[in-house]
Chains A and B, each alone.
Chain A
Amino acid sequence: MTHEAVIGLEVHVQIKTRSKMFSRVAAGYGHPENTLTDPVVLALPGTLPVMNKEALDKVIKAGLLLGCEIAPECKWDRKNYFYPDSPKNYQISQYDQPLCRGGFVEIELPGPARNVMGEHRKIPLTRIHLEEDVGKLTHAAGVSLVDFNRAGTPLMEIVSEPAIHSADEAFAYLTALKTVMIYGGISDCDMEKGQLRCDANISIRPAGASALGTKVELKNLNSFSFVRDGIALEVSRQLSVVKAGGTVAQETRDYDGQTGESKSLRSKEMAHDYRYFPDPDLMPVQVGEEWKSAIRAGCPELPFDKQRRFQKEYDVPYTITSVLVPDPELSDFFEEAARLCGRPQAAGNWIANDLLRELGSARIGLGQSRVRPAHVAGLVKLLEGGVILSTAAKEVFIDMFRSGELPEAVVARRGLKSETTLDELERWCGEAIAANPKSVADFKRGKDSAINAFKGPVMRAAKGRADPKRVDDILRRLLAR
């Protein structure tokens, strides 16, 4: 009997806001312990929460981007439980009226090869709700310390339906979700900074069955690859339990990414009673159509829509779009460069290959890059116009990446101008073709290598200062007439 895995993901995403969910103190990461606090965050006697509208706006935006139904009213509930990282010993959350219901995350499964687009699927969502984050506990010898900097940070919980069927799909889901969050300016989803956290509910069932098997909750999936590896491990563990004639026990397991092992944290969840009730300190907020429309107007194009458009509108190949699209700034950079030079494919190549390589070795982001779209567009034009050769172009790129000068200036400063012009090249190509009718006939019959016969005379005429690729392009253009 074959089995299939059934996986649901609960993803917590910290929302990028200036201040915390219910107080005016700044939200942030990497500050000295307990400095991002105020009487409200510390739950001093007499303090009251006041909702951060920016956080609400961003969850509505996330919901709109993911096709969710937005609740007409934002209502707050208290989730009561005692834990030292929770200053009030209750968390303000949303229980029976999540802000968003339904919707889906479009994912791309791994393709048959790296350079081939994989199958797309839609993973349905159950709900998205807004709540506040807790503090962070550190356990040392004999003491436990708590840092409340994180406490009260706006946090959104995104719950998928149990509709994910493999570790790869889970990985693809998180990747796609992260990209949408980045596009919406909702979160940076940096797992190292705890901005995205993921728990997985995993079960297996005989293929074709509709009932769900006993689920195991997997925690501590601290990176995207740990999510994939941890789920793969858990699925195979459950399969071997079943194959050995056993049954999977309901439990919560902890995955250790370093050792690649998991261990049971607790068996069958002790039934928690969170005593949810509406928070009397916070009035429900009406989310009217006008409000939603204003947010909708600020919603960006979704990443996969952008990718499809790039491929269709600019005829840029998947290998390039798959590099550009995950980063909205890079995508915008590309579109601007393409617009300026009118050669999207060439611009895409320079950006996806040379620019990213240089940024990588300089360890800086696109924002700090001295090369702007105008630089890339200028370079493409110089190359297309035969002003420089492709070998010189590489040199020019590296120079302008360091100097920030426009390509024309770099070419002039360094004397990299090709001595051959497009007119000359075209003339020499025409002469070579006219001089060799046999090879012309061979080429037109389909013998592609026949084109090489024209290249020797052209390169000789150019005294070696012609770009072979450009010569090839021109010859083909002329031969196609």
Chain B
Amino acid sequence: MPCSSSPRWSSRRSPEAVSEELYYSTISELSRLLGRRELSAVELMRAVIERTKKVDGRVGAFNSFDEADALAQARASDERRSKARGDGAAAPSRPLEGIPVGIKDVISVAGQPLTASSRMLARFVSPYDATVTLKLREAGATCWGRLNLDEFAMGSSTENSAFGVTSNPWDLERVPGGSSGGSAAAVAAGEAVAALGSDTGGSIRQPAALCNVVGLKPTYGRVSRYGLIAFASSLDQIGPFARSVGDAAWVLGAIAGHDRRDSTSVKAEVPDYHGGMAALADSGRKWRLGIPKEYFGEGLDSEVGAAVEAAIGEYRGLGCEVREVSLPHTRYAVAAYYIIATAECSSNLARYDGVRYGSRSGGATDALDIYFRSRAEGFGPEVKRRIILGTYVLSSGYYDAYYLRAQKVRTLIRRDFLEAFTQVDAILTPTSPTPAFRKGEKAADPLAMYLNDIYTIGVNLAGLPAISIPCGFTRGGLPIGLQLIGQPFRETELLAIAGAYEGHTDWRTRRPRL
């Protein structure tokens, strides 16, 4: 029988389709329900809004959200779906249609605040959509809320936010990691089905590990950076947070691709990641995994080490070949990273001057004074520290010794990885040396904070794709993440390797008590 013009959604769902609350479902599960019209996008959005209102007072994942705007997007999604049906055409395969995707508050959404969790942009509303935002809209997703982060994505704990610390849903006394802590916490706490974050030195993978969710940093150039507030242009990359590897594949497929607004985005075809990883899984291919000895040394928490060892055992059990590889320049990665990243940020953040937009100090007397006062008042201490460091390393007379040398180290680090990839398909490491730490524990010691990214930074310097997936818990109940590093533009294989482990473990299905 032909459909009526107003959709009639079934309020009863098949019990086996969703194992738990809607807001904890995966994209795969939800899109099936939405496709069968057992669920409407508005119903789903309402469930997520309700959940957010219930828990975000404790979690603090969001800087802001616009309930009316989100519901309007969901309504439009339902209309699209009913129209597609009404036309008699089969609904196209649009896995993100009607799915609420949270967005880190450093990615532009037209008409919504864009604060970078900084006082500098506290009242800034962006007039345009980032390319990833546009692509999510084209895929039918609902852009949901503005997720907290370390100010200008500088930090590993979300403690550097000007608008309050996000709590780890697994232990509210602890940090969710950073800088995309809000994105990780939102997905972990059921406040978004998936989320976008950005990763400059581990800012997607480390919080994903600390919050028991999947976090994917794509190859540099795979996803357009247009509309992402730049921290370090040559390292930044947008990527998804999700509840499963398959979900991460769906989101990546929606946001990837060349963009004429970003010269660093690469003209490479976007494969069907989800279909591709499934095909690889079916092929029964035996993966070769490399274990870099440099990543299992001093500073690695014993429980994290044990969980990763167990994961390696799991892979062996799946028939994968595991061998040791060497990444000899790893020990220079943090130093090189903090030179390159700060140099770029010192220049990227120069535009926040109080002249055209953003916060301008009231007491300024002339142009120079506007700069001094607005920037002194607008930026937090970590941002200032990095701007000062970056300004210093670019100074005449120091450029060769720092910036140029760091770039050379970067080349060597990339070469290490590419050399290892002649022997293995992916490299397996812990994501973070420790599980989530207590709020304030490292806030006073920037160096200790920087070392938290020791396993993730090299990947950005080399421009490689990497994923963090849940791989266990500490005795205290804190999540542990496993990092898999892939070859440039071979995300499909990376996802397939991650999916193989995920399919044999149930870590990702565990939920925090909130």
Interface residues of A (CB under 8 A from B): 39, 42-51, 78, 80, 82-84, 87-90, 144, 146, 273, 275-277, 280-283
Give Cα A44–Cα B403 distance, bound, in whole angstroms.
27
Contact at A277–B130, with CB atoms within 8 Å?
no
A46 to chain B, nearest CB (A): 4
Some 11 contacts from A to B, beta carbons below 8 A apart, are A45-B121, A46-B106, A48-B262, A80-B394, A84-B367, A88-B350, A89-B350, A275-B394, A275-B396, A282-B264, A283-B263
Contact at B350–A90, with CB atoms within 8 Å?
yes
Give Cα A319–Cα B135 distance, bound, in whole angstroms.
65
Identify the interface centre among A82, A88, A144, A146: most chain B CB within 10 Å of its CB: A82
Give Cα A78–Cα B127 distance, bound, in whole angstroms.
26
B346: chain A residues at CB < 8 Å are 80, 275
Determine whether B126 belongs to the interface, using a CB cutoff of 8 Å to chain A. yes
Give Cα A275–Cα B124 distance, bound, in whole angstroms.
29
Give Cα A273–Cα B396 distance, bound, in whole angstroms.
6
Contact of A80 among B127, B264, B347, B403 (CB under 8 A): B347
A92 to chain B, nearest CB (A): 11
Given contact pairs A80-B350, A282-B263, enumerate 7 new A-B contacts (beta carbons under 8 Å). Answer: A48-B261, A50-B263, A82-B371, A87-B351, A276-B394, A276-B399, A277-B399
Contact of B353 among A49, A89, A275, A281 (CB under 8 A): A89
Contact at B261–A46, with CB atoms within 8 Å?
no
A144: chain B residues at CB < 8 Å are 367
Give Cα A44–Cα B355 distance, bound, in whole angstroms.
12
Binds A, one of B224-232, B271-279, B288-296, B308-316: B224-232
B226: chain A residues at CB < 8 Å are 46-48
Query: Provided the pairs A48-B263, A80-B350, A275-B396 are in contact, do residues A146 and B229 lie with their beta carbons within 8 angstroms?
Result: no
Interface string of B246-285 (1 = CB under 8 A from A): 0000000000000011111000000000000000000000
Give Cα A88–Cα B399 distance, bound, in whole angstroms.
21
A4 to chain B, nearest CB (A): 33
Q: CB-nearest residue of chain A relative to B367?
A: A84
B392 to chain A, nearest CB (A): 10
Give Cα A45–Cα B350 distance, bound, in whole angstroms.
11
Contact at B126–A46, with CB atoms within 8 Å?
yes
A275: chain B residues at CB < 8 Å are 346-347, 391, 394-396, 399
Contact at A50–B367, with CB atoms within 8 Å?
no
B264: chain A residues at CB < 8 Å are 48, 280-283
Which residues from 428 to 467 on chain B have a C-beta closer than 8 Å to any C-beta of chain A? none
Shortest beta-carbon contacts, A-B, top 7: A89-B350, A280-B233, A280-B234, A275-B394, A46-B227, A43-B351, A45-B229
Determine whether B327 belongs to the interface, using a CB cutoff of 8 Å to chain A. no
Query: Provided the pairs A46-B130, A46-B230, A82-B371 are in contact, do residues A280 and B351 lie with their beta carbons within 8 angstroms?
Result: no
Contact of B116 among A45, A51, A88 (CB under 8 A): A45
Give Cα A47–Cα B130 distance, bound, in whole angstroms.
9
B236 to chain A, nearest CB (A): 9
Determine whether B343 belongs to the interface, using a CB cutoff of 8 Å to chain A. yes
Give Cα A146–Cα B357 distance, bound, in whole angstroms.
13
Q: CB-nearest residue of chain B relative to A144?
A: B367
Give Cα A275–Cα B130 distance, bound, in whole angstroms.
29
Contact at B371–A42, with CB atoms within 8 Å?
no
Contact at B353–A44, with CB atoms within 8 Å?
no
A131 to chain B, nearest CB (A): 15
Contact at A46–B367, with CB atoms within 8 Å?
no
Give Cα A83–Cα B347 distance, bound, in whole angstroms.
13
Determine whether B107 belongs to the interface, using a CB cutoff of 8 Å to chain A. yes
Which residues from 87 to 114 on chain B have a C-beta closer than 8 Å to any C-beta of chain A? 106-108, 114
Interface string of B342-369 (1 = CB under 8 A from A): 0110110011110111000000000110
Determine whether B9 belongs to the interface, using a CB cutoff of 8 Å to chain A. no
Give Cα A90–Cα B347 distance, bound, in whole angstroms.
7
Give Cα A438–Cα B357 distance, bound, in whole angstroms.
95
Contact at B351–A88, with CB atoms within 8 Å?
yes
Contact at A89–B263, with CB atoms within 8 Å?
no
A27 to chain B, nearest CB (A): 18
Identify the interface centre among A50, A146, A282: most chain B CB within 10 Å of its CB: A50
A31 to chain B, nearest CB (A): 18
Interface string of B365-405 (1 = CB under 8 A from A): 00110010000000000000000000100111001000100
Contact of A146 among B127, B228, B355 (CB under 8 A): B355
Give Cα A88–Cα B356 distance, bound, in whole angstroms.
10
A130 to chain B, nearest CB (A): 15
A44: chain B residues at CB < 8 Å are 126-128, 357
Query: Provided the pairs A87-B351, A273-B396 are in contact, do residues A45 and B126 lie with their beta carbons within 8 angstroms?
Result: yes
B221 to chain A, nearest CB (A): 9
Q: CB-nearest residue of chain A relative to B375?
A: A82
B441 to chain A, nearest CB (A): 31
Contact at B395–A50, with CB atoms within 8 Å?
no
A147 to chain B, nearest CB (A): 12
B355: chain A residues at CB < 8 Å are 84, 146
A90: chain B residues at CB < 8 Å are 347, 350
Contact at B116–A277, with CB atoms within 8 Å?
no
Give Cα A219–Cα B226 distance, bound, in whole angstroms.
38
Contact at B107–A46, with CB atoms within 8 Å?
yes
Query: Provided the pairs A44-B357, A275-B347 are in contact, do residues A50 and B260 lie with their beta carbons within 8 angstroms?
Result: yes
Give Cα A44–Cα B353 distance, bound, in whole angstroms.
11
Query: Provided the pairs A39-B128, A281-B263 are in contact, do residues A46 and B229 lie with their beta carbons within 8 angstroms?
Result: yes
Q: CB-nearest residue of chain A relative to B260?
A: A50
A112 to chain B, nearest CB (A): 50
Give Cα A276–Cα B356 distance, bound, in whole angstroms.
24
Give Cα A84–Cα B371 distance, bound, in whole angstroms.
9
Query: Provided the pairs A46-B229, A273-B396 are in contact, do residues A39 and B350 lie with their beta carbons within 8 angstroms?
Result: no
B350: chain A residues at CB < 8 Å are 80, 82, 88-90
Give Cα A440–Cα B394 distance, bound, in whole angstroms.
90
Contact at B367–A277, with CB atoms within 8 Å?
no
Contact at A46–B108, with CB atoms within 8 Å?
yes
Contact at A46–B263, with CB atoms within 8 Å?
no
Contact at B229–A50, with CB atoms within 8 Å?
no
Query: Provided the pairs A39-B127, A44-B127, A44-B357 are in contact, do residues A277 and B394 lie with their beta carbons within 8 angstroms?
Result: yes
Give Cα A270–Cα B230 distance, bound, in whole angstroms.
31
Give Cα A49–Cα B399 distance, bound, in whole angstroms.
24
Give Cα A383–Cα B368 distance, bound, in whole angstroms.
71
Q: CB-nearest residue of chain B relative to A78?
A: B347
Give Cα A82–Cα B346 distance, bound, in whole angstroms.
12
Give Cα A83–Cα B106 distance, bound, in whole angstroms.
25
Contact at A45–B260, with CB atoms within 8 Å?
no
Contact at B262–A45, with CB atoms within 8 Å?
no
Give Cα A43–Cα B128 distance, bound, in whole angstroms.
12
A49: chain B residues at CB < 8 Å are 263
Contact at B347–A43, with CB atoms within 8 Å?
no
B344: chain A residues at CB < 8 Å are 280
Contact at A48–B225, with CB atoms within 8 Å?
yes
Which residues from 123 to 153 on chain B have a C-beta closer than 8 Å to any C-beta of chain A? 124, 126-128, 130
Contact at B353–A50, with CB atoms within 8 Å?
no
Give Cα A468–Cα B263 distance, bound, in whole angstroms.
72
Contact at B262–A46, with CB atoms within 8 Å?
no
Give Cα A282–Cα B130 distance, bound, in whole angstroms.
18
Q: CB-nearest residue of chain A relative to B234?
A: A280
Interface string of B317-354 (1 = CB under 8 A from A): 00000000000000000000000000110110011110
A89: chain B residues at CB < 8 Å are 350-351, 353
Contact at B126–A42, with CB atoms within 8 Å?
no
Contact at B229–A277, with CB atoms within 8 Å?
no
Identify the interface centre among A43, A48, A83: most chain B CB within 10 Å of its CB: A48
Contact at A46–B114, with CB atoms within 8 Å?
yes
Give Cα A276–Cα B343 distance, bound, in whole angstroms.
10
A463 to chain B, nearest CB (A): 78
B180 to chain A, nearest CB (A): 16
B370 to chain A, nearest CB (A): 8
Identify the interface centre among B228, B233, B263: most chain A CB within 10 Å of its CB: B263
A47: chain B residues at CB < 8 Å are 226-227
Give Cα A347–Cα B267 distance, bound, in whole angstroms.
56
B260: chain A residues at CB < 8 Å are 50
B429 to chain A, nearest CB (A): 26
